Every structure is written in structure tokens, then in C-alpha cells.
């Protein structure tokens, strides 16, 4: 069951590779008959926030992101008021960025995470080799933040989700019959340069093999899955045994807003859509 609401909740984070614009197409695969929504590469979780499922498992290997979701779930009003109170200036941004997260309380870390996400270049999450966030300030306007009400609503949606800082392999071991699993991994493409910086180790060909094995296992457990992936040789081989369709998207190449290009993505699924 999806609870009724007049507005579709917006994700409160900006995220490189966000699927926000593709939500209407993705929704065609969803049904409220599924027992649970599972998203192992959550990022901004925009599909989750738009569906507002009754039960969910949200995971991402980015532990700072998952901790932030926990704080938004538990103390949305306090987190929001603190984020909004920080001036959106270049000077303040670099002061916040320089703070050592290990010396902050969980709520301070969540506030810093959201503030940096709101104001950094292109909503990119990237750390240096010592794990420090190193994305520059967004020189052009990063856009308006969600309203306090929208943020509180996001917190309510998160109350219905189990949150885990896990590698996708761990998350997928918990998939069971009746689950709907939406997978939006970073792209591993050998032949082209696409954005794939989400932390210390990039998604690699070994991860794609693992993913392929998990698709088979999920199918055998009677779980439904839907994968979004760049339309490339690697994705077509991932799609071999499943239904797939191409979708036109606009993607930014080389990380620069002015360099956005039309591209294609593949949706790979074991869900048979009736015409
Ligand atoms: C393309 S983004 C997901 C974007 C999301 N669908 C959205 O709309 O915002 C991919 C996510 O996968 C996460 N990730 C990368 N490698 C991972 C792994 N091995 N296990 C779990 N999550 C991983 C990254 O931290 C990133 O948040």
C-alpha cells in the first residue's frame, strides 16, 4: 500500500546519477502488491521517496549517507532547522567542509552532510584517499532546498524503512519472495568515460559479475527486480536472460552542467509488463 498524499515527496539530497526524471517510467514496473521495496544502491532514493512504500530496505555502501537518513528519520525538524540556519556562502562552505566528521556528534554530521550536499558542485559525493569530502563549492546556484514540511514527510517515509550501510551483495542476500528490488548501480563502462566517483573504490567489472549472479538468485526466489544501467556492451550482456528496454535520458558527461548530452539507458527486469 502507498499512503495517499497530494504531493509527490521530493528527495532532499542532490545526487549524481539521480533517477528523478525517470520516475514516471520506473513507476510502470511498481505495484502496491509487492510486500517490500528494496534499494541496495540508494543514493538520493528518489524512487523510494516518490513511491512511499509501506515497508522498505534501503542500503548504500556510503555509511555517511545512511547515517544521515537515520537522523532525518529520527529528528527531521531539528536537522532541517540547523541546515537552513547555515549561510550558503563560499567561505562558510569551506569551513564546514574542513570540519572533521569524526569529532562531530551524529546530528552535527548529518547537518554537515546535507549542507555540503546542497551547496557542492553538481551534488557529487567524492572523497580523497583519506576519506575527506573534497568536492568544491557550487559556483552557480545549487537550487532551492525542500520545504520543512517536505523534509518532515521524508522523515516519515524513512520511518517505514530499514536502513543499512551495506555493500549490495549483503543487501541482496536478504531479498525474499514478494520483494520488489530497484537497482541503480554506478556505471562501469570500459569503453567510455562516464561518471563513477562515489567514494574510495569505483564499481568494477567484478561487481557487475556479482550483480549478474544476484539477478539470477533473486529471480529464483520469486522476487521482482528492475535495474537501470547505461546502454553499453556491459549492460547488454547483463540483460541477456531478461526483459530489457531502452530509455532516452540526459546525462552529464565529465561532471560539467554545460556538457549534458542525450544518452540511452537500459532497464533490465524480470517483470513482464502487460501491454
Ligand atoms: C547511481 S547512484 C544511485 C542513485 C539513486 N538511484 C538516485 O536516484 O539518487 C549509485 C549509488 O551506489 C552506491 N554504491 C556504489 N558502490 C556500491 C556498492 N558496492 N554497494 C552498495 N552501494 C554502492 C553509491 O554510494 C551511490 O549512492
For residue 184, the CA-to-ligand 1 centroid distance in Å is 7
pTM to 2 decimals? Answer: 0.91
**What angle, rounded to 10 degrees, do the helices at 63-74 and 106-119 form?**
110
List CB contacts of 157: < 8 A, sequence separation 6 or more.
9, 48, 49, 52
In the prediction, which pLDDT does 16 show?
87
Residue 71 · residue 91 · CB < 8 Å: no
For residue 275, the CA-to-ligand 1 centroid distance in Å is 31
**Which of these three, 101, 126, 148, is where a domain ends?**
148
C-beta 269 within 6 A of ligand 1: no
**Which of these three, 80, 114, 148, is where a domain ends?**
148
- Which ranges of the chain have pLDDT less than 50? 1-6, 192-196, 199-200, 253-256
Confirm whether 3 is domain-assigned. Answer: no
Count of helices and strands (H, E) across the chain: 10, 7
Query: Based on the structure, what is the number of domains in the chain?
Result: 2
Give the residue numbers spanning the domain of 39: 20-61+161-269
Supply the residue whose CA is at minimum distance from atom 19 of ligand 1.
167
**Which of these three, 116, 148, 180, is where a domain ends?**
148
Confirm whether 205 is domain-assigned. Answer: yes
For the chain, give the number of residues.
Answer: 275
The answer on 213 and 77 residing in a single domain is no
C-beta 41 within 6 A of ligand 1: yes
The answer on 184 and 210 residing in a single domain is yes
C-beta 167 within 6 A of ligand 1: yes
The answer on 137 and 178 residing in a single domain is no
For residue 116, the CA-to-ligand 1 centroid distance in Å is 18
For residue 227, the CA-to-ligand 1 centroid distance in Å is 12
Confirm whether 40 is domain-assigned. Answer: yes
The answer on 235 and 169 residing in a single domain is yes
In the prediction, which pLDDT does 9 show?
61
Nearest residue to 24 (alpha-carbon basis) of 3, 57, 51, 61: 51
Confirm whether 218 is domain-assigned. Answer: yes
Confirm whether 104 is domain-assigned. Answer: yes
In the prediction, which pLDDT does 253 show?
47
C-beta 60 within 6 A of ligand 1: yes
The answer on 167 and 121 residing in a single domain is no
The answer on 263 and 171 residing in a single domain is yes
**Ligand 1 pocket mutation pick from 41, 59, 63 by most atoms within 8 angstroms of CB:** 41
C-beta 198 within 6 A of ligand 1: yes
The answer on 127 and 249 residing in a single domain is no
For residue 197, the CA-to-ligand 1 centroid distance in Å is 10
In the prediction, which pLDDT does 190 show?
60
Ligand 1: nearest atom to the Cα of 39: 6
Confirm whether 156 is domain-assigned. Answer: no
Amino acid at each position: 500500500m502507498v499512503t495517499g498524499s497530494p504531493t509527490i515527496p521530493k528527495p532532499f539530497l542532490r545526487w549524481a546519477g539521480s533517477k528523478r526524471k525517470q520516475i514516471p517510467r520506473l513507476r510502470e514496473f511498481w505495484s502496491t502488491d509487492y510486500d517490500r521495496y528494496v534499494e541496495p544502491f540508494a543514493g538520493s532514493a528518489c524512487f523510494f521517496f516518490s513511491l512511499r512504500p509501506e515497508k522498505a530496505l534501503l542500503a548504500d555502501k556510503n555509511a555517511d549517507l545512511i547515517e544521515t537518513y537515520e537522523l532525518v528519520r529520527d529528528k527531521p525538524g531539528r536537522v532541517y532547522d540547523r541546515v537552513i540556519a547555515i549561510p550558503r556562502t563560499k567561505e562558510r562552505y569551506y569551513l564546514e567542509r574542513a570540519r572533521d566528521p569524526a569529532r562531530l556528534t551524529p546530528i552535527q554530521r548529518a547537518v554537515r552532510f546535507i549542507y555540503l550536499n546542497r551547496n557542492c558542485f553538481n551534488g557529487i559525493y567524492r572523497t580523497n584517499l583519506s576519506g575527506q569530502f573534497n568536492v568544491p563549492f557550487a559556483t552557480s546556484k545549487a537550487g532551492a532546498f525542500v520545504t520543512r514540511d517536505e523534509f518532515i514527510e521524508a522523515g516519515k517515509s524513512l520511518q517505514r524503512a530499514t536502513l543499512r550501510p551495506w555493500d549490495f551483495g549483503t543487501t541482496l542476500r536478504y531479498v525474499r519472495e514478494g520483494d520488489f528490488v530497484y537497482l541503480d548501480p554506478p556505471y562501469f563502462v570500459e569503453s567510455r568515460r562516464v561518471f563513477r566517483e562515489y567514494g574510495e573504490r569505483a564499481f568494477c567489472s567484478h561487481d557487475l559479475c556479482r550483480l549478474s549472479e544476484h539477478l539470477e538468485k533473486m529471480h529464483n526466489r520469486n522476487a521482482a527486480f528492475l535495474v537501470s544501467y547505461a546502454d553499453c556492451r556491459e549492460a547488454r550482456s547483463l540483460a541477456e536472460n531478461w526483459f530489457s528496454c531502452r530509455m532516452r535520458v540526459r546525462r552529464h558527461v565529465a561532471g560539467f552542467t554545460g556538457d549534458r548530452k542525450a544518452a540511452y539507458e537500459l532497464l533490465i527486469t524480470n517483470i513482464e509488463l502487460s501491454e
